[in-house]
Chain A
């Protein structure tokens, strides 16, 4: 079909001067457009431009500033300020990336163009979608964007983080906070459990009688043994975890009356942190690159969608399991995808690589655990390398937990510097 013809046109770029339907600067190798300026999209834009200055690189991002989720659980605990989480796009613009502050409303794959909310069109030779996650409020009965004002999700950092922090501060000293965990997959698998840990750390200082109940739609979770050991050692019985099989799945909420329902129980907590089910960001659905799961299947070497040619998907929106949906994974995928894209623009076949991920979680400030994984991308799929995958040892010294917290802090500095400058 037409996809073959388009691919031939792109493939021809390396051999011939750029032949385009569009007016182009004469020396440009091709036009790379990225939607979404998080850890995936911003990294890719910057890295691709540095790797191949002849590429026209355009980043479309709705917000002027990005608020990072990693480390934002420390903000909830009062250990960090939200402004330490925020970044802008000046360094990308200075590096030669054209940054368009706008909201992409549609993608026309046949015409290879992106439609912006204001009516403008941005044409591409290859498009990278890095929209992150969209919160599916309507998949949890009673929940809504409005309801998230009473029952914050705080799963996209910013005003929601501040709101949840204020609610925790205002909560009675012997109050109950609930964290509702959605069914996997969702962004940041260990995030809810790190959040419980850091809330408990705050309670230990400020409200020692307060309790935390985790209502989970899953039966297992990331770094489970490490978290549960840490909770016992550090917080006694402050944190209780209820698995899906133990009536942990939240099926309905009533934000107005602060009621949270499972199959067999109703709770009325003082704070309800409701993390809703998730899927790929809206633009991925409009671009036709999602499958019935709501996420985006991709070819493992180039991250090209297997539904639409010339559209690549990276970061949380992509199906790269067993890689988790994490900032580290997004940044790593972005760099590998950038190399693959520059090869494609030059007419060189991309090669499989080895990807990696590391996620640090704080059990309390200055005290962290990690999970690491490495992944092959050959044979058309992502596969974990067993020898390289695993979590921190269960019986570790305080010194190791402190060292991992130092690693986490350095990681955040390095990745945000690389991504945003």
Chain B
């Protein structure tokens, strides 16, 4: 059973955005996509619409990278939510500068 006394809050809209289901899905991205673009893996610093289009394009391209496989885990609504979560965290918590 789930914890007694918890506020029922089944949908992302009710939660602060950094704690939403989309934010949780988007949190995985920063494992590869750092805050600075690397030689091969880009930083995800665009606005939500661009990120969404880029993710949708990955599905069409049929490329052979790991990301071309992983993108198939998400439907269009999830992709949009992830793009919005990424765009709202241009300085995602774990990627914030922590000093010199």
Q: Contact residues of A with B, CB < 8 Å? A: 4, 7-8, 10-12, 14-15, 43, 46-47, 50-51, 90-92, 94-95, 328, 331-332, 335-336, 339-340, 342-344, 346-349, 351-356, 358, 360, 370-372, 374, 385, 387-390, 392-393, 396, 400, 403-404, 406-407, 409-411, 413-415, 417-418, 421
Please give, as numbers and ranges, the residues of chain A lying within 8 Å of B96 by CB-CB distance: 50, 95
Q: Cα distance A46–B98 when bound, in Å?
A: 10
Binary A-proximity of B1-33 (CB < 8 A = 1, otherwise 0): 011111111101011001101011101101111
- The B20-52 residues at the A interface (CB cut-off 8 A) are 21, 23-25, 27-28, 30-35, 38-41
* A-B residue pairs in contact (CB < 8 Å), sample of 6: A8-B4, A10-B3, A335-B27, A344-B6, A346-B19, A347-B5
The answer to whether A372 touches B70, judged by C-beta atoms less than 8 angstroms apart, is yes
Q: Cα distance A392–B32 when bound, in Å?
A: 17
The answer to whether A51 touches B19, judged by C-beta atoms less than 8 angstroms apart, is yes
The answer to whether B10 touches A351, judged by C-beta atoms less than 8 angstroms apart, is yes
Please give, as numbers and ranges, the residues of chain A lying within 8 Å of B99 by CB-CB distance: 90-91, 94, 421
The answer to whether A343 touches B15, judged by C-beta atoms less than 8 angstroms apart, is yes
Contacts A347-B5, A349-B9, A356-B73 hold; do A414 and B32 have CB atoms under 8 A apart?
A: yes
Q: Cα distance A400–B69 when bound, in Å?
A: 14
The answer to whether B31 touches A332, judged by C-beta atoms less than 8 angstroms apart, is yes
Q: Contact residues of B with A, CB < 8 Å? A: 2-10, 12, 14-15, 18-19, 21, 23-25, 27-28, 30-35, 38-41, 64-67, 69-74, 78, 93-96, 98-99
The 6 closest A-B pairs by CB, nearest first: A50-B93, A410-B38, A374-B73, A414-B34, A11-B5, A388-B73
- Extra 19 A-B pairs, beta carbons < 8 Å, given A374-B72, A403-B65: A47-B93, A331-B31, A339-B23, A342-B19, A348-B9, A348-B19, A349-B3, A349-B6, A353-B21, A354-B78, A356-B73, A370-B66, A385-B72, A388-B73, A400-B64, A406-B39, A406-B40, A410-B34, A414-B34
Please give, as numbers and ranges, the residues of chain A lying within 8 Å of B3 by CB-CB distance: 7, 10-11, 344, 349
Contact of A4 among B4, B12, B98 (CB under 8 A): B4
Please give, as numbers and ranges, the residues of chain B lying within 8 Å of A358 by CB-CB distance: 31-32, 66, 70
The answer to whether B41 touches A388, judged by C-beta atoms less than 8 angstroms apart, is no
Closest to A340 in B: B24
The answer to whether A414 touches B41, judged by C-beta atoms less than 8 angstroms apart, is yes
Please give, as numbers and ranges, the residues of chain B lying within 8 Å of A92 by CB-CB distance: 98
Distance in Å: Cβ of B41 to nearest Cβ of chain A: 4
Contacts A4-B4, A413-B34 hold; do A388 and B94 have CB atoms under 8 A apart?
A: no
